[in-house]
Amino acid sequence: MENNSNFIKNIMKEDLETGKHNTVITRFPPEPNGYLHIGHAKSIFINFGLADEFNGKTNLRFDDTNPLKEDIEYVNAIKEDVEWLGYKWENLLFASDYFEEMYKRAVLLINKGLAYVDDLNADQIREYRGTLTEPGKNSPYRERTIEENLALFQAMREGKFGNGEKVLRAKIDMASPNINLRDPVIYRISHASHHNTGDKWCIYPMYSFAHPLEDAIEGVTHSLCTTEFEDQRPLYDWVIRECEMESTPQQIEFGRLNITNTVMSKRKLKLLVDEKFVDGWDDPRMPTISGLRRRGVTPEAIHEFSKELGISKGSGAVDSAMLDHFVREDLKLKAPRTMGVLNPLKVVITNYPEGQVEMLDAEINPENPEMGIRQIPFSREIYIEQEDFMEDPPKKYFRLFPGNEVRLKHAYFIKCEEVIKDDQGNVMELRCTYDQETKSGSGFTGRKVKGTLHWVEATNAIPAEFRLYEPLILDDEADEMAEGETFLDYVNEKSLEIVQGFIEPNMKEVQAYDKFQFFRHGYFSVDPKYTTAEKPVFNRIVSLKSSFKL
């Protein structure tokens, strides 16, 4: 199987040229049992993108055939996420709206002698199924008459049996080399309320029976799915054919997206939410679309990322740095530059006049001069970062230390004259002097300094919180691990660091999702959940450094 979207494009092109289809109709079919993640974005990009190339249409269809795990909360979140990614669906559809139609098709199979009610339980069915090297055994109930099967299936629908007491199975071939064709279960009993159909049904179709019918009912021409479903394709075609569907969609598989240090299964993501490892599906560390949005990743970056995946071959895990790369590319020209001081240290500039505040000009974005100039105050008291001062520095430390001179970005050179400490010896404040001649933009060339520090004027500074993230999952193997707690052992306890600090006073009015590049710290986005009128909270989207090369 090629992991390349061009082969799908070629099939579509040929189908239009040969007249097999006169239009392309695709669907994005999430199960509303969780929030969408970045893997879904790839599927969305492929489904919507390819249909669009042929002036076709894409439906958003909720594949909601499993009442126990599905919820309207997820339906709403998925709609919001698809829209936010910038896609417009043609029709909004629910598989559960076709339950009656699916039931009729199942009855048709029974009438054709191609389906039977089985009393074996799930374990027995598995036992009877055989293995790759061993054919399966027929169920003792396989030869029930059509009449008996019709009556039993009807009784199943009427709620005469408990969960798991009976199933409906397709009668195909218990010796098929493809295990999926060994009389797959197509209906099960589940006395559970459904988010859409309520208590109307107590039998629900299985995915492998429902999905081809959903596609055919909607006139989908090309049903794109991930490669795990390759072995199901013969069953997909069997269902379409034997249920005598008018329309004949074609299933085509593409490579599932995997990303390093990232779990991408809704079941596992739900566990992280339920066990409170994160503060919700939209926690900025989550690979969900809502988490990425809250973190500050833009739809444009996700789009460019998906585009790059679309043409790249190979199905190995993609480096998580690749998405970061597209975030930087997208924000480079858009995000205003600013200065934020994390873990502040007060600096008093002793030779600067008391009470004086001067306004300095600073470019908003040197890579995009059209964004203009901002004004930042400077006075006798400023904050720098604790990290930018060392009393006893190693060699090649070019930041501030006693006797050393550095440049303050957009301002003056300052020199460290004195260190003020508390009783425990902690550095509480620095006393520095500045040199008026060295003002930024004045053309001063008298002497050079090696370090440039960012800073914020102290009396006008706005308190702010910064949230710095590391991968939520420590090990790449974690996504491959079996059911159970073990996956949670790989959660990175240090994935969130909360730091207090100050930002420039011109940022008083920041709104949720506003994005900035903080000098030396990277790109940040205003958090919609924790930001208050008094204190904005910034999520670091990505740092500035990147070792990633395309």
> Which structure tokens are listed for 336?
């205003």
**Could you give the string, one character per residue 344-383, with x where binding to ligand ATP holds by CB under 6 A and - elsewhere?**
----------------------------------------
Q: Is 523 annotated as a binding residue?
A: no
Q: Is 276 annotated as a binding residue?
A: no
Q: What are phi and psi of 40, to 5 degrees?
A: -65, -30
Binding piece for ligand ATP, criterion CB under 6 A, among 188-196, 260-268, 286-294, 385-393: 260-268
| 471 is a site residue for ligand ATP (CB under 6 A) | no
Query: Does the annotation count 256 as an active-site position?
Result: yes
Determine the Cα–Cα distance for residues 427 and 386; give it in Å rounded to an integer. 9
Amino acid symbol at 350: T
Torsion of CA 313, 315, 316, 317, to 10 degrees: 100
Determine the Cα–Cα distance for residues 144 and 138; give it in Å rounded to an integer. 12
Measured from the CB of residue 12, what is the shortest distance to Mg ion in angstroms? 23
Q: In what order do the strands lie in the sheet with 115-118?
A: 115-118, 167-170, 185-189, 203-205
Binding piece for ligand ATP, criterion CB under 6 A, among 34-42, 49-57, 113-121, 312-320: 34-42
| 265 is a site residue for ligand ATP (CB under 6 A) | yes
Binding piece for ligand ATP, criterion CB under 6 A, among 23-31, 210-218, 311-319, 443-451: 23-31
| 30 is a site residue for ligand ATP (CB under 6 A) | yes
| 264 is a site residue for ligand ATP (CB under 6 A) | yes
Query: Does the annotation count 31 as an active-site position?
Result: yes
**Partner interacting with residue 299 (select from ligand ATP, Mg ion, none; CB below 5-8 Å by kind):** none
> Which structure tokens are listed for 34?
């969780």
Q: Is 448 annotated as a binding residue?
A: no
Binding piece for ligand ATP, criterion CB under 6 A, among 198-206, 262-270, 297-305, 439-447: 262-270
**Residue from 9, 11, 16, 31 that binds ligand ATP (CB under 6 A)?**
31
Q: Which residue is nearest to ligand ATP (CB)?
A: 39
**C-beta of residue 132 within 8 angstroms of C-beta of residue 203:** no
| 60 is a site residue for ligand ATP (CB under 6 A) | no
Catalytic residue among 9, 31, 308, 520: 31
Q: Is 31 annotated as a binding residue?
A: yes
**Partner interacting with residue 30 (select from Mg ion, ligand ATP, none; CB below 5-8 Å by kind):** ligand ATP
Determine the Cα–Cα distance for residues 439 and 413; give it in Å rounded to an integer. 7
Q: Is 265 annotated as a binding residue?
A: yes
**Partner interacting with residue 540 (select from ligand ATP, Mg ion, none; CB below 5-8 Å by kind):** none
In the chain, the N- to C-terminal Cα span, in Å, equals 23
Query: Does the annotation count 266 as an active-site position?
Result: yes
Determine the Cα–Cα distance for residues 64 and 71; give it in Å rounded to an integer. 9
Measured from the CB of residue 161, what is the shortest distance to ligand ATP in angstroms? 28
Measured from the CB of residue 190, what is the shortest distance to Mg ion in angstroms? 17
**C-beta of residue 153 within 8 angstroms of C-beta of residue 144:** no
Measured from the CB of residue 424, what is the shortest distance to ligand ATP in angstroms? 51
**Residue from 176, 180, 196, 226 that binds ligand ATP (CB under 6 A)?**
226
**Partner interacting with residue 188 (select from ligand ATP, Mg ion, none; CB below 5-8 Å by kind):** none
Which run of H or E residues covers position 286?
none
Measured from the CB of residue 2, what is the shortest distance to ligand ATP in angstroms? 15
Q: Is 351 annotated as a binding residue?
A: no
| 315 is a site residue for ligand ATP (CB under 6 A) | no
Helix, strand or coil, per DSSP, at residue 400: strand
Determine the Cα–Cα distance for residues 446 and 53; give it in Å rounded to an integer. 60
Q: For 161-186, b where at least 16 C-beta lie within 10 A, e where not — what string?
A: beeeebbbbbbbebebeeebbbbbbb
Measured from the CB of residue 85, what is the shortest distance to ligand ATP in angstroms? 13
Measured from the CB of residue 253, what is the shortest distance to ligand ATP in angstroms? 9
Q: Is 42 annotated as a binding residue?
A: yes
Q: How many residues can be counted in the chain?
A: 550
Determine the Cα–Cα distance for residues 13 and 19; give it in Å rounded to an integer. 10
The candidate with the shortest Cα–Cα distance to 490, out of 499, 506, 479, is 479
Q: Is 207 annotated as a binding residue?
A: yes
Number of residues that bind ligand ATP (CB under 6 A): 15
Q: Is 39 annotated as a binding residue?
A: yes
Catalytic residue among 69, 129, 157, 256: 256
Task: Give the residue with the Cβ less far from Mg ion, 207 or 277.
Answer: 207
**C-beta of residue 106 within 8 angstroms of C-beta of residue 205:** yes
Q: Is 41 annotated as a binding residue?
A: yes
Residues 6+ apart with CB under 8 A from 152: 117, 144, 166
- Provide, for the chain, the percentages of residues in helix, strand and coil under a 3-state DSSP scheme, each rounded to the nearest 5: 30, 25, 45
Tell me the C-alpha to C-alpha distance, in Å, between residue 238 and each of 62, 196, 235, 250, 252: 23, 28, 5, 12, 15
**Partner interacting with residue 256 (select from Mg ion, ligand ATP, none; CB below 5-8 Å by kind):** ligand ATP
The candidate with the shortest Cα–Cα distance to 285, out of 430, 498, 532, is 498
Catalytic residue among 57, 233, 266, 285: 266
Determine the Cα–Cα distance for residues 190 and 204; give it in Å rounded to an integer. 7
Q: Is 63 annotated as a binding residue?
A: yes
Measured from the CB of residue 229, what is the shortest distance to Mg ion in angstroms? 9
> Can you say whether the dihedral through the CA atoms of 479, 482, 485, 489 is positive or negative?
negative
Binding site for Mg ion (CB under 5 A): 31
| 8 is a site residue for ligand ATP (CB under 6 A) | no
Phi-psi region of 62 (alpha: psi -120 to 50; beta: other; left: phi over 0): beta
Measured from the CB of residue 263, what is the shortest distance to ligand ATP in angstroms? 9
Annotated binding site for ATP: 31-33, 37-43, 226, 256-257, 264-266
Residues that bind ligand ATP (CB under 6 A): 29-31, 39-40, 42-43, 63, 225-226, 256-257, 264-266
Query: Which residues are annotated binding-site positions?
Result: 31-33, 37-43, 63, 207, 226, 256-257, 264-266
Instruction: Give the residue numbers annotated as catalytic, written as ranges.
Output: 31, 256, 266
Which residues participate in the annotated binding site for L-glutamine?
63, 207
